[in-house]
Amino acid sequence: MADTGGEQTISSYIQHHLTNATVGEGFWTFHIDTLAWSIVLGFVFILSFRSVAKKATTGVPGKWQASVELIVEFVNDTVKSTYHGKSKLIAPLALTIFVWVLLMNLMDLIPVDFLPWIAGQIGYYGFGVDPHDIYMKVVPTTDVNMTFALSIGVFVLMIYYSVKIKGFGGFMKELYAHPFNTPWLYWFNFILEVVSLLAKPLSLSLRLFGNLYAGELIFILIAGTLGLWQLPIHFLWAAFHLLIIPLQAFIFMMLTIVYLSLASEEH
């Protein structure tokens, strides 16, 4: 929380909360808080859904099993109505993206000082490190490196399916012979299509990052200006933010399915 003793200004408080815990230098700088939280949340998804799958019954399901079945059916119906190719990978991929991104986004609802304070206490009493020197960003999707990593994975699959379905020649022909199938405009087509192709993962990553980063920044501003009195306003903003969190996970999943469907179509 903001230091009422005047040692920490609002700007330094905000800057501290927006700084990742890092190791390494230059290109090989790793944001260990982003990596740690994303991996932990990934295991939460895998283990919880696996547990439901192993214990699933044909009778009246429990609340958690019913919730998981609802999510799986929702994603499955979305894939069936959107993806027009044939691949056993798309439905599990869409489910993984939706639930994983949703869990990472949900970390935004935890009061911004809670987990960083715990990390600071562990660092101070366990390793003798000043809490002000310990950084902890707990929302992985507010880190543009994380959203770019997700979108790059989707981009690689787009290229893979394009080449697999159309062949390398067919994929290249899409780039240079569309939209104007005229030899003297091939160079113009190629520029347009390459820009369009690269814009897909770029927009995919920046849309998720921008929405979550803006929401997190407002939470930090509330905490920094109100201190201990932040919780009522925090929960009011969190109630509104509940609309953004699943919506952004759904949009990321939906665009992934659409991009892979386009890549899988034969022209």
Task: Read off the tokens for 106.
Answer: 């949900």
By the 8 A CB rule, do 69 and 243 touch?
Answer: no
Report the distance separating Cα 58 and Cα 66, nearest Å.
Answer: 11
Show which residues are catalytic: 203, 207, 211
Dihedral sign (CA 119, 124, 128, 132)? positive
* Alpha helices in 27-89, H assignment, sequence order: 32-55, 63-82
Dihedral sign (CA 240, 242, 243, 244)? positive
Report the distance separating Cα 214 and Cα 93, nearest Å.
Answer: 27
Report the distance separating Cα 133 and Cα 128, nearest Å.
Answer: 11
Report the distance separating Cα 250 and Cα 99, nearest Å.
Answer: 9
